[in-house]
Amino acid sequence: MGKLKVLIVDDSAIVRKIFTEVLSRTPDLEVVGTAPDPYVARDKIVQTQPDVITLDVEMPRMDGLTFLKKIMHYHPLPVIIVSSLTPRGSKMALQALELGAVEVLAKPDGAFSVGELGVDLVEKIRAAAHIRFNHKKSAEPEAPPAKLSPLTQTTDKIIAIGASTGGTEAIKEVLLRLPSNTPGVVIVQHMPPKFTTAFAERLNQQCAMEVKEAQDGDSVTTGRALLAPGNYHMLLKRSGARYYVQVKSGPPVHHQRPSVDVLFNSAALSGGANVIGVILTGMGADGADGMVTMKGRGAYNIAQDEASCVVFGMPKEAIKKGAIHKVLPLKRIPEEILRALTANPS
């Protein structure tokens, strides 16, 4: 297999230069072009046939969201969004993920070293290159949340969810179909700082449950979903009858902070058989070992199936380790969560 071809689209000459230098040092990647705006990028897509595009969302002449819509309609291919850590940039990045972009990357602003940025950028490009677009996205309006029966017998239950590439839309689909009286949910989605804030706010507007970016010491209660903040690990803890989260720094696990394994291992220790674990689309193996630990302590584990995943890496690794009780298409996972909450699954 030849090198992965990358096209960099950004109005910042500095960003184009940094990305080109970083990627040129990586043997399996090749920068086949750069573009300062979507009009130049459009011609270079035709000329160079890139495998992956990095795309700034805030650009002159045509904004990145408008260009992304055109790409997904006429020439679908993996797009990694490069966005500033501002509230506006974060919201636009989330809109881009809804339009079909597969990953989001924080624009270098002095807060990240080029070395850190390089590792993240290279991994995201490699993950994105595994994605194949076989059909155009459906234009059908999103279905409303299903009408679900009130839950019973759910004392002390916890739902722990982990996801990466493609996970923002997968998490949204799961939470949209859970009723407001669902037991507490804890979530890790691989995402940079600030973007998790915007993601939680957007989910909170759309879902029946309260969704918030977790703060250290937040209680995990019925009707609430807590999302790990970018660049911090989140652990589930228990004090008497109360579940709460610990939000802390620490070394990355599987190159990730937050890490799904960190959450799942803590859920196994604090929740045991009261936990329902869900592993969704994502590149790599983060979460697989944690699911083994959860299963060993009596948790019930669900994995998203290959056909509905953007990238089948994380669920595949958990399945290979024998940590999963049930593998399901994304649309069937919410009903299985609710069934498991009110049953005694084996």
Q: How far is CA 73 from CA 20, 59, 76, in A?
A: 27, 20, 6
Whether residues 75 and 192 share a domain: the answer is no
Task: List the catalytic residue out of 83, 164, 266, 308.
Answer: 164
Q: Which amino acid would we find at residue 182? A: T
Which letter does DSSP use for residue 12 in this model? -
- Contact status, residue 10 vs residue 36, Cβ threshold 8 Å: yes
Give residues with Cβ within 8 angstroms of 142, minimum separation 6: 176
Q: Is 236 helix (H, G, I), strand (E, B) or coil?
A: strand
Whether residues 259 and 181 share a domain: the answer is yes
Whether residues 170 and 319 share a domain: the answer is yes
Q: Of 129, 147, 170, which residue sits at a domain end?
A: 129
Question: Considering the domain boundaries, does residue 272 fall inside one?
Answer: yes
Distance CA 72, CA 74 (A): 6
Question: Considering the domain boundaries, does residue 140 fall inside one?
Answer: no
164 is catalytic: yes
Give residues with Cβ within 8 angstroms of 318, minimum separation 6: 279, 287, 288, 291, 292, 301, 303, 324
73 is catalytic: no
Q: Of 129, 145, 179, which residue sits at a domain end?
A: 129
Whether residues 182 and 314 share a domain: the answer is yes
Domain with 46 in it: what CATH number?
3.40.50.2300
Question: Considering the domain boundaries, does residue 146 fall inside one?
Answer: no
The tokens for 255 are: 């190159």
Determine if residue 82 is left, alpha or beta; phi over 0 gives left, psi from -120 to 50 gives alpha, anything else beta: beta
Give residues with Cβ within 8 angstroms of 58, minimum separation 6: 11, 64, 83, 84, 88, 89, 92
Distance CA 42, CA 51 (A): 14
Question: Considering the domain boundaries, does residue 148 fall inside one?
Answer: no
Domain with 193 in it: what CATH number?
3.40.50.180
Whether residues 103 and 186 share a domain: the answer is no
Number of structural domains in the chain: 2
The whole-number pLDDT of residue 231 equals: 93
Distance CA 185, CA 187 (A): 7
- Contact status, residue 267 vs residue 278, Cβ threshold 8 Å: no
Whether residues 163 and 83 share a domain: the answer is no
Strand 158-163 to 275-279 pairing: parallel
Sign of torsion over alpha carbons 252, 255, 260, 264: negative
The tokens for 239 are: 């004090």
The whole-number pLDDT of residue 139 equals: 39
The tokens for 176 are: 């949209």
Question: Considering the domain boundaries, does residue 238 fall inside one?
Answer: yes
| 278 φ, ψ (degrees, to nearest 5) | -135, 125
90 is catalytic: no
Whether residues 102 and 191 share a domain: the answer is no
Whether residues 173 and 249 share a domain: the answer is yes
Give residues with Cβ within 8 angstroms of 64, minimum separation 6: 9, 38, 55, 56, 57, 58, 81, 92, 96
- From the centroid of its chain, how far is CA 212? 16
Beta bridge partners of 160: 186, 277
| 195 φ, ψ (degrees, to nearest 5) | -65, -35
32: closest CA among 18, 15, 52?
Answer: 52
Q: Is 160 helix (H, G, I), strand (E, B) or coil?
A: strand
Which domain does 165 fall in, by range?
158-342
Question: Considering the domain boundaries, does residue 147 fall inside one?
Answer: no
Task: List the catalytic residue out of 10, 37, 84, 190.
Answer: 190
Residues of the chain with pLDDT under 70: 1, 109-116, 132-155, 344-346
Task: List the catalytic residue out of 286, 289, 305, 308.
Answer: 286
The whole-number pLDDT of residue 345 equals: 46
Q: Of 129, 149, 177, which residue sits at a domain end?
A: 129
Whether residues 207 and 80 share a domain: the answer is no
| pTM score, whole prediction | 0.89
Whether residues 183 and 101 share a domain: the answer is no
- Contact status, residue 159 vs residue 182, Cβ threshold 8 Å: yes
The whole-number pLDDT of residue 134 equals: 52
167-176 helix and 333-342 helix, angle to the nearest 10 degrees = 50
Whether residues 168 and 282 share a domain: the answer is yes
Whether residues 86 and 169 share a domain: the answer is no
The CB density around residue 148, as the number of other CB atoms within 10 Å, is 15
Question: Considering the domain boundaries, does residue 52 fall inside one?
Answer: yes
Question: Considering the domain boundaries, does residue 55 fall inside one?
Answer: yes
